[in-house]
Amino acid sequence: MGGPIGLNFLVAYNRMDRMGLTPEEYNQLDEDLQVMEDAALEAMRSKE
């Protein structure tokens, strides 16, 4: 408890909204961010 819990997606979505992405690009970037978030959390947890 007390460690990182995940990406603040509100910030990411705000930025993505300003990028002028197509719906398909938006969905793909959202999926990519979730994969990166999972990998980053796993890496951080393995160092504890």
Annotated domain spans of the chain: 22-48
**CA distance to 2, 3, 6, 22, 34, per residue, from 42 (Å):** 15, 12, 10, 30, 12
> For residue 28, what pLDDT is reported?
98
Tens-of-pLDDT digits for all 48 residues of the chain? 678 888 899 999 999 999 999 999 999 999 999 999 999 999 998 886
The pLDDT value recorded for residue 16 is: 97
pLDDT of residue 24: 98
Asked if 21 and 29 touch (Cβ cutoff 8 Å), the reply is: yes
